[in-house]
Amino acid sequence: MVILTLNCGSSSVKYQVYDWTERAVLATGLVERVTQPGSKLTHKPVGALELEKEQDCPSHQEAINLIMEAVQDGDHGVIESIDSVKAVGHRVVHGGERFNKSVEVTDESLAVFRELQGLAPLHNPANIMGIEAARAVLPKVPHCAIMDTAWHQTMPAKAYTYAIPHEWYKQYGVRRYGFHGTSFLYTAKRAAVLLGKNPFETNLIIAHIGNGASINAVENGVSVDTSMGLTPLEGLVMGTRSGDIDPAIPFHMMNAAGMKPDEVERALNKQSGVLGITKKYVDRRDIEQAAENGDELCKLAIEVESYRLRKYIGAYAAALGRVDAIVFTAGVGERGPLTRGLATEGLERLGIKLDPAKNKASRTVNAETCISADDSPTKIFVIPTDEELVMTEDTYAVMEGTYDVHTNFTYSFQLPEYTNKSRNACIDQDLEKRPELANIIVNTPTGTTAGAAPEDCE
């Protein structure tokens, strides 16, 4: 049984093809420049050669048709027929207060997503277009919507309420919603396994740090606070987003520089963050290299980003009282020892003590590592996220009628015996490059690299 997951942006479609029977990823890929000239497909089948194809995709439907051609391709395909796909899971950024778990896509649920477009004008319209396109291409299978916001629906009112006229919340839904929910769900469940604790007796602070970044306070296994708010703009310093700023800044810039509201919104979402400070870099590796070469703005960007992160960790430690573990995940969180080190610097009094050597060694997306000092009361984990697996398992369970909110549902990855076949097949290559990894891997993978092609491993 094959399950397809889709993450549709305004000009891109990311996908994964998963064999449910074998519990294995068959292929991943991306179509770029959807709705623009020069669309390009990059298809990465596991254990086979990568396929690149340029073909204009004026809409998401052409992009999904192109994906279906690739997954059935004679030389690069991973399924024999489109009939092998039995369900499709879709990422939806904003579910508002209407959804506290994933749902089957119906005309009724699509209507609700359309109602919520005003809360996520940069994301939900593209998600909806992707769903409609996929339903047209694959009309005979169930489709499931997995919301970024659903995980955070356990937040108490004291955490999600803004100190604004209450009518804004009642009439327009203005409140904190939070995002990156599938990533937080996965890493929270995995952290409980690594701690050997019941997930609903576990307190965590999870930092999802990539181009988009947010941090989550988890108390007794559920989300109680998070840094992103009504939109993904609030909170941490990100690749191109400002994160927290004085709310008066947009009005000041409109008055002082004559900027229009949409120009300010674009600047805060697309021209700010570390890009805004450095003037030219988003990739943290480029920023670190430039800082080493003496670029003062890049040094400042690193300090600002890490300082904001450290403040949030301290605030959430105060809010939780007891913290069992700090978790770093996503691109920078998984492979950025400099950011992790600066973000935890000086937190020893809170019981958070990093081991510099362990931190430096942890640069892998294929294993879960512990980078805290041996005498640290609070563990510090690096856990590679797997949002696609959450989407896949939700989609399957919705299709089978066995799904429920995560407090009443058990995922495969929250079981002690869980292993990730794709990552297990690559960890030996990481160990060859960095043997010191062996000393910090928390759950030693049981798989081997037999049959894994080097190009399949990151």
Mean pLDDT, range 402-430, rounded to an integer = 90
Model confidence at 429, pLDDT cuts 50, 70, 90, reads confident
Model confidence at 10, pLDDT cuts 50, 70, 90, reads confident
HSE of 431, CA atoms in CB hemisphere, 13 A:
16
Counting residues of the chain whose pLDDT is more than 90, the rounded percentage is 86
The one-letter code for the residue type at 313 is I
pLDDT at residue 118 in the model: 82
Report which of residues 49 and 245 the model is more confident about: 245
How far apart, in whole angstroms, are the C-alpha atoms of residue 21 and residue 39?
33
Q: Of these residues, 148, 386, 430, 456, which one is catalytic? A: 148
| Residue ranges per structural domain of the chain | 2-147, 181-382
Tokens at residue 4, please?
A: 């397809």
Is residue 223 scored above 60 in pLDDT? yes
Active site residue 148: yes
How far apart, in whole angstroms, are the C-alpha atoms of residue 236 and residue 310?
10
pLDDT at residue 123 in the model: 82
* Topology annotation, domain 181-382: Nucleotidyltransferase; domain 5 (3.30.420)
How far apart, in whole angstroms, are the C-alpha atoms of residue 422 and residue 441?
16
The answer to whether domain 2-147 and domain 181-382 are alike in fold is yes
447 secondary structure, DSSP code: -
Residue-wise pLDDT tens digits, 61-107: 999 999 999 999 988 999 999 999 999 999 999 999 999 999 999 99
Nearest to 211 by CA among 154, 158, 287: 287
DSSP notation for 177-214: ----HHHHHHHHHHHHHHHTS-GGG--EEEEEESSSEE
Q: What is the CATH number of domain 2-147?
A: 3.30.420.40
3-state secondary structure of 65: helix
The one-letter code for the residue type at 54 is E
Residue-wise pLDDT tens digits, 158-194: 999 999 999 999 999 999 999 999 999 999 999 999 9
Mean pLDDT, range 13-41, rounded to an integer = 94
Place of tokens 């998963």: 18
pLDDT at residue 371 in the model: 98
Identify whether the C-beta of residue 160 lies closer than 8 Å to the C-beta of residue 177. Answer: yes
Nearest to 174 by CA among 91, 97, 285, 88: 97
Identify whether the C-beta of residue 208 lies closer than 8 Å to the C-beta of residue 222. Answer: no
pTM given for the model:
0.94
HSE of 50, CA atoms in CB hemisphere, 13 A:
12
Is residue 313 scored above 90 in pLDDT? yes
pLDDT at residue 446 in the model: 40
DSSP notation for 74-87: TTT-S-S-GGGEEE
